[in-house]
Structure 1
Amino acid sequence: METESNLLDQEIAEILRTVVDGAPETLLVVNPSKDTIEELIGVATEYEGDLPTIRLLAQEGTLKDVMEDFIVASNAADLIDEGALSLRTTDEVPSNSLIVTDEVVIALVTADDKVGGLTADDDEFVAEAYDSYTAQWEETSDFSLRTPAISRVRDTLGEEISADAQQDFDEVLSSMETARGDGDGLDEVTISLLVAAKNEALLYDISKWGEDVGIASKATFSRTKTKLEDMGLIGTEKVPIDVGRPRLRLKLANEDLQNAETDQLAGVAQSMLN
């Protein structure tokens, strides 16, 4: 096994970009760490050329944890919709994280804060590894990703609420590293409600949109609205309608939020919720 051209002391994203730049037809990523999955989704989302068919085979618990982040999951859903990414789970995984194409096998080795890509490009070894992991892939089960694709979220938000709301949603997400809702970034329902309040949209409209697009149920939107209202982040005013109970218009209730630039909205809200 030849180990020339090792990709030592590089960021995971650099190693992944190097492999994708090699234009393989299929890229198998086996037993990736949480960081590797996040970086892979990021690299694939931002890549401007033709992507290979990316097959990601991971432990179910690892995938579930990573996909709790709305930013990662919604971008992954976009890639799946485009046919560029498939996610599958297995309990039978090697101890190493591997990147496998029909031309190279790379073992990702992490030591402290450094990553090494140990490369093997011996034809016979690579062919055996590629065939072996392809066979393993075909025997595994699809991972069910319930998060909607970010492009669909953006498009429908612009159509159902407003173009300004879509732009604000984009800016808020771009300002965040994660959107997990566990104290490490706001969750997607909170973000949606804050954007709706900034644009003085109706609770009925934003919660119906959120349920229709697959973000969360109307009940979840209602509970989160109550929490944000109780904590003084947003307020409501009644808007009469022709038939039925008045609808509630959302507004930002806190002066710091009202005065914040859109790209600061998440940070200000996070500090208040903490």
Structure 2
Amino acid sequence: MPSHVAPTTAEVYRAHLADASTSSDVFAAGLAEEPAAALVNALAGLDDPPTVRLLVTETVAKWLRRDFHLASTAADLLAAETLSLRVADGSFANQMVVTADAVASILSTDEQTAGPATDDPEFVDSMRERCSEAWETAEPFDLRTPPRSRVYETLGDEIDPAVEADYQAMLDAVETTRSNGYRTTDDDRFDEVELVLLAGAKHELQHYDLSRWGEDVGLASKATFSRTKNRLEDQGLLTTEKVPIDIGRPRQRLVLDDRLRDVEAGDLPEAGRDVIDSATE
């Protein structure tokens, strides 16, 4: 395996993974947060990826889980059995990718990433044995996130293809949905539940139908959907209208604020942030 230098870490991973044989698992060990994210994205972009066993610390695994973009992409890879994820004890001093034939380190500056590699058989065998032993004692990690493909598919099939298209556009428009595990009215980004509620309000869906779908697919609980809806109402982004039903309590229809009704889906996150910011000025 040759060494690789590229402008981004993901490009270095793509080069090393493309060189790797698909007949043997690849180990990725000791990766910090951003290199782990780059690995997930690189693996997702390969047409014929090898199977990768990712060993990270619990801190890194939880960091991955807090961003729906990353976690749902990783969940797709897990479902396809392209990726396995376990939490190691942090005993790896270096960031590395270990294939059947080579060991590559991952080194980054502000402008480039390098993946210097060695194919010395004795060293490769020793490092693979070390990774294998660490893998056997490591703990599986639950991302608690549904695969992105399943979220999109079920949203289109069970709710509305137009809502699915708008949700995709809104997720693509934001760089991250990362949070610290809680949401506040002055948070500077929208998470995956807020975005799907805004997409639902754009099409005036019933909150009950959307929250039931969200809980069934594993996106969030009905209680989380309800709290999030209330927060978006408090921020002035949407309102609700009562929808009478024959039996039981009236249901609520989600309706976007007048300032957002004509905004294209891809521009809605930024426009929604502008509405929030204008209210605090």
Q: Normalised by the shorter chain, which TM-score bucket?
A: over 0.9
When the two chains are superposed, the root-mean-square deviation of aligned CA atoms in Å is: 1.6
Moved more, 211-220 or 263-272: 263-272
CA distance in structure 1 between the partners assigned to 2:188 and 2:102 by the alignment: 37
| 1:57–1:88 CA contact under 8 A, matched in 2 | yes
SS in 1 for 2:117: strand
Alignment of 1:123-202 (within 5 A): 123-181=121-179, 183=187, 185-202=189-206
SS in 2 for 1:197: helix
**1:171, CA displacement in angstroms?**
0.9
**1:184, CA displacement in angstroms?**
5.4
Alignment of 1:209-248 (within 5 A): 209-248=213-252
Provide, for residues 9-52 of structure 1, a one-character-per-residue CA deviation record: whole Å limited to 9, x for no partner.
Answer: 542111111112114232111011111111111112222x2211
Does 2:268 correspond to 1:269?
A: no
**Which residue does 2:19 correspond to in 1?**
22
TM-score, normalised via structure 2 length = 0.91
SS in 2 for 1:95: coil
| 2:56–2:90 CA contact under 8 A, matched in 1 | no
**Which residue does 1:7 correspond to in 2?**
4
**1:159, CA displacement in angstroms?**
2.0
| 1:232–1:254 CA contact under 8 A, matched in 2 | no
Provide, for residues 178-208 of structure 1, a one-character-per-residue CA deviation record: whole Å limited to 9, x for no partner.
Answer: 1124645311110110011011100001111
| 1:178–1:184 CA contact under 8 A, matched in 2 | no
| 1:88–1:141 CA contact under 8 A, matched in 2 | yes
| 1:28–1:56 CA contact under 8 A, matched in 2 | yes
SS in 1 for 2:113: strand
Identity of counterpart residues, as a percentage?
40
CA distance in structure 1 between the partners assigned to 2:153 and 2:125 by the alignment: 43
**Which residue does 1:43 correspond to in 2?**
42
CA distance in structure 2 between the partners assigned to 1:113 and 1:143 by the alignment: 32
Q: 1:189 to 1:157 in 2, by over 3 A?
A: same
| Gaps in structure 2 of 5+ consecutive residues | 181-186
CA distance in structure 2 between the partners assigned to 1:17 and 1:24 by the alignment: 13
SS in 2 for 1:259: coil
Stretches of 4+ moved more than 6 A in 1?
none
Moved more, 234-243 or 177-186: 177-186
| 2:207–2:253 CA contact under 8 A, matched in 1 | yes
Write the letter of the residue equivalent to 1:62: V
Q: 1:76 to 1:151 in 2, by over 3 A?
A: same
| Gaps in structure 1 of 5+ consecutive residues | none
CA distance in structure 2 between the partners assigned to 1:154 and 1:9 by the alignment: 32
SS in 1 for 2:106: strand
**1:160, CA displacement in angstroms?**
2.1
Aligned to 1:54, which of 47, 52, 55? 52
**1:58, CA displacement in angstroms?**
0.2
SS in 2 for 1:52: coil
CA distance in structure 2 between the partners assigned to 1:197 and 1:27 by the alignment: 44
| 2:20–2:100 CA contact under 8 A, matched in 1 | no
TM-score, normalised via structure 1 length = 0.93
SS in 1 for 2:170: helix
Q: 1:66 to 1:113 in 2, by over 3 A?
A: farther
What is the aligned residue count? 269
Write the letter of the residue equivalent to 2:208: Y
